[in-house]
Amino acid sequence: MSSQYDLEIQTALEDPTSRPHLVMGGATFASIDDDVAGVSEGFLKKTSLAWYAMFGASISVLAMLGAVVVYLISTGVGIWGNQSPVFWGWPIVNFVFWVGIAHAGTLISAILFLLKQDWRTSINRFAEAMTIFAVCCAGLFPAIHVGRIWVVYWLFPIPNQMEMWPNFRSPLLWDVFAVSTYATVSLLFWYMGLIPDLATFRDRATSKIRQGAYAFFSLGWTGSSRHWHRYEKAYLILAGLATPLVLSVHTVVSFDFAVSQLPGWHTTIFPPYFVAGAIFSGFAMVLTLMIPVRAIFGLQHIVTLRHLEVVSKVILATGSMVGYAYAMEFFVAWYSGNPYEQFAFTNRAFGPYAWAYWIMVSCNVISPQLFWFKKLRQSVPALFVISIFVNIGMWFERFVITVTSLSRDFLPGSWAYFQPTPFDALTLIGSFGLFFTLFLLFIRFLPIIAISEIKGILHKQESHH
Amino acid sequence: MEQQEAKALGLLAEYETPQALMAAAEKVRDGGYKRWDTHTPFPVHGIDDAMGIQPTILPWIVLGAGATGTLTALLLQWYTNGVDYPFLISGKPLFSWVPAFPVTFELTVLFAGITTLLGMLALNRLPRLHNPLFDVKRFARATQDRFFLALDATDPLFEDSSARALLEGSGATAVEDVPDVPTNENIPSWMWQVAIVLVFATFVPLGLIAASYNSTSTTPPFHIVGDMDWQESYRYGEEVPFFDNGQAMRGALPGTVAVGELEEDDAFYRGMDDMGNWLAVAPVEVSKSVLERGRERYNIYCLPCHGESGNGKGIVHERALALDTSGWLIPRDLTMDSIVTQPDGQIYDTITNGFNYDAETGTGNMAPYAAQIRPEDRWAIVLYVRALQRAANASIEDVPADKRSAL
């Protein structure tokens, strides 16, 4: 997967006083259009068998998910392994897993924007799309887990014939507000960023249908400087709003656990620990997706090795935070002198779920530590493999937190070992079908890189010469 | 009508670099023009000053929206959980600030976020799918790799030749008229027709719902989702395999009393005084309605055996004799002296517990009626039996003088 640009960056990195350019290969404004819009337009010129094969596979898995959901709704949540005392099984694990992944996009768009990290421009669009699709997958799980999905509107404060309202002191209700606000604001942020690029697509379009569709969604954008002025202000405001929002979402998700009184859940470290974990998993997913896409569509000069390396550093930092949180949980359990808390953690590491715990530690704590080595940070295959390990590890983290605490609570008489059913696995696999179907449609029809922002970077880069 | 030629809407100048555009913008600004704009593929920094663009009021609009979100969330939580449907949980206050924080924060961000995008579009007068600039072919590059300056012909200072000279002397690679291409901006009539039909069509389901809401029906309601309305369950009186007595209905446990069913009042419930003697007189008020009630109950429960007049010749008795059932215990004549002289309490007890009845074998003269007849109705029957006795043993003197001729 290496290319001429990868070599270019490696040589550039030898000199610590100069940083490699964020856009390489002598790009011009026009060539950026050709490269990015070329991804989507390329599908018109040449039938991409690879795309059709991947899309066919994804949509089949999505259809399977649809069948499982129909079976679930018509039969009941009993088709899953959720059983006393573990009533929060895989559905909540999958929910937290996907919500966590959804954090990278808005973090890259908002926080790195406020911090003026120009390198974000090459990957932000991509990461934002990933965020929205991951939120779709995440939202699916609580919705189908409620059992009677036809009354799912009870989650929202809608006046109803029962004259009842939701309980606003429940973290589960906070979650409804946090996740739906996050989904909405992420979508707005993403769409706003897309408007100028959709206009570029419109103006390059050769067919009437394509031109009409992009014209509709670009809302008549002309690149007016008076518009750009308000647009940039709006983007800054949205970034400012999304920054606390992105931190709040996983905080509220962690409240689902931390506000309850179960040993292993009832800890104040959860909000920061969950947020760090979310960023960790989100950046890992960015790598997992970006590495093949940049190679397949020849975008190595826009998403350079420097970008991948920066992402790997973020993974190293957040992975270390997660490792610290794991250790701190044990310390606090010991230091609290609370026998239930102590048991919960001893049981996690050495009880019946020890296998899951040590998979989690190996993937989340040990594997990112390899990024201390520059050679591995600059090796595309190593980045890809470690990112997969992190994805696996973060799923297991949620599994360990959810299942070990529930399966052995205060009453030894109710202890039981959690047994997932095949439908648990099919729902999880199916959610990947949903994710990849949306993702492949995104690659095919939308600008996968923020064209106008890249041009801005290129202009800045040129004026520094 | 002086001009035959189509008038241009303005002038469009093209530049190759942002720097060239910026220089030109400064010239146009200094020329005193007001209605003009530049179009660039990306936001060119510094152009705001070059053009003299004033800061946008968008942040203030967003601030207002955010404050609205905060207030909405607080009012929502206070009203729904504290006033309209008070949620009392562990004795905590019905409304407090800390648990209200997450939702308040989220709604603040939600309102502000939506307003940011919509406000930006509204201030930019977008969406505007048709723009005269799109009629200039080269303008397509405004979103790609060229930089444009558009001067509007409606500007008070606009004068074609001087404006053209200004732009041509500003480093433009091309200066072109923006043609006034007549466009039909009216919505085609068929779209209106479709829209009207659709609007009316949306009322059809609502109308059907309203119609069924305001009408009665003999068929059960149509349930889309049954929820727990149709569960498999045993009904009262059905036989079940898993209880010793085979009954689906579970009785009260021996030695227990359900709330409100203690029946402490011996006189009323058992017909006895404190010493255990039968009450001579029923402990209920005598009235015509009570007697009517007594007759009604008597005719349901007692008449089949004891007969309409209480003479012990009810239809069941007649039938039993007709079948020549040996062992049939003849029902008592309720008007005979031995019963006339019984205290009210004893008759009440007979109705309650039966007569010569063996609960073990379920045999005897008369079965208890406690399960079928409520205490107040038993007393009503006692009073009615008294009336029957009086009627059976009456003489002509008991009939009011004016009714005697009817006999």
Q: Is the dihedral of CA A32, A38, A40, A41 positive or negative?
A: positive
| CA-based nearest distance B193→chain A, Å | 22
How much is the ipTM here?
0.91
Peptide bond into B127 cis (omega under 30): yes
- Sorted by sequence, the CB contacts under 8 Å of residue A39 that are 6+ apart come out as A297, A299, A443, A448
CB contact under 8 Å between A200 and B100, yes or no, is no
Is the minimum CB–CB distance between A128 and chain B shorter than 8 Å?
no
| Across B118-129, average pLDDT | 91
Q: What is the least distance, in Å, from the CA of B217 to any CA of chain A?
A: 21
Residue B394 CA to residue A133 CA, distance in Å, equals 96
* Neighbouring C-beta atoms of residue A174, cutoff 10 Å: 25
Render pLDDT for B386-405 as a digit per residue (tens, 0 to 9): 999 999 888 888 888 888 88
pLDDT of residue A1: 40
Higher per-residue confidence, B266 vs A396: A396
- The residue among B139, B151, B146 whose CA lies nearest residue B8 is B151
Which tens digit of pLDDT belongs to each residue from B318-355? Answer: 998 888 777 788 899 999 999 999 999 999 999 999 99
Which residues of chain A make contact with B103, given a CB cutoff of 8 A?
168, 173-174, 177
What DSSP character marks residue B252? P
**Nearest CB to B113 within list A185, A215, A216:** A185
Q: Per residue in A371-386, pLDDT tens?
A: 999 999 999 999 999 9
**Which among B38, B133, B144 has the least Cβ separation from residue A204?**
B144
Q: Strand B174-178's sheet: what is its strand order?
A: B36-39, B147-152, B10-15, B174-178
Q: How many CB pairs under 8 A join A and B?
A: 199
Name the 3-class secondary structure at B11: strand
CA distance A69 to chain B (A): 16
Residues sharing a CB contact under 8 Å with residue A242, sequence separation 6 or more, in sequence order:
A106, A109, A110, A185, A186, A189, B109, B113
In terms of pLDDT, which residue wins out, A462 or A179?
A: A179
Compare B2 and B70 and report the one with higher pLDDT.
B70
Q: Do A168 and B58 touch (CB under 8 A)?
A: no
* pLDDT grade for B6, boundaries at 50, 70 and 90: low
Given A203, A242, A248, which is nearest B143 (Cβ)? A203
Which pLDDT tens digit goes with each residue over A33-63? 888 888 888 887 877 788 899 999 999 999 9
CA-nearest residue to B21 within chain A is A225
- Mutation target to probe the B interface, by most B beta carbons within 10 A, among A36, A75, A167, A169 is A169
Residue A14 has pLDDT above 60, yes or no: no
The 10s digit of each residue's pLDDT in B367-388 is 999 999 999 999 999 999 999 9
**What residues of B are in contact with residue A215 (Cβ under 8 Å)?**
129
pLDDT band at B224 (very low <50, low <70, confident <90, very high): confident
- Chain B hits for A449, CB-CB cut-off 8 Å, are none
Gap between the Cα atoms of B397 and B407, Å rounded: 12
- Residue from the list B41, B47, B51 with its beta carbon closest to the beta carbon of A455: B41
> Which SS3 state, helix, strand or coil, does residue A15 take?
coil
Q: Report the helix count and the strand count for chain B, using DSSP H and E.
A: 13, 6
- Does B102 contact A252 at a Cβ distance shorter than 8 Å? yes
Topology adopted by domain B266-401: Cytochrome Bc1 Complex; Chain D, domain 2 (1.10.760)
* Range of lowest pLDDT (A157-161, A328-332, B109-113): A157-161
Residue B277 has pLDDT above 50, yes or no: yes
The residue of chain B with its CA nearest to that of A244 is B109
Contacts of B134 in chain A (CB under 8 A): 222
Domains and CATH numbers, chain A: 4-464 (1.20.1630.10)
B133 with B139: CB under 8 angstroms? yes
Q: Give residue limits of the domains in chain B.
A: 1-184, 266-401
End-to-end CA distance of chain B: 118
Residue A413 DSSP symbol: G
pLDDT at A297: 82
Report the mean per-residue pLDDT for chain B: 89
Q: CB-CB: which of B92, B123, B144 is closest to A200?
A: B144
pLDDT of res. A465: 53
Joined together, the tokens standing for residue A56 give: 């066919």
What is the structure's pLDDT at B112? Answer: 97
pLDDT band at A173 (very low <50, low <70, confident <90, very high): very high
Query: Is the per-residue pLDDT at A458 higher than 90?
Result: no
Helix extents (H) in A259-366: 270-296, 305-336, 339-350, 354-361
Residues of chain A in contact with residue B148, where contact means CB-CB under 8 angstroms, are 223
Question: Could you read off the pLDDT of A71-121 as tens digits, one per residue?
Answer: 999 888 999 999 889 998 999 999 999 999 998 888 888 888 888 888 888
* Reported confidence tier of residue B114, pLDDT bands at 50, 70, 90: very high
pLDDT for residue A5 is more than 70: no
Q: A150 contacts in B (CB within 8 Å)?
A: 224-225
A193-201: average pLDDT: 94
- Residue A136, CA distances (Å) to A64, A98, A152, A223, A249 in order: 17, 9, 16, 31, 15
Over 90: is that where the pLDDT of A219 sits?
A: yes
Does position A367 have pLDDT exceeding 80, yes or no? yes
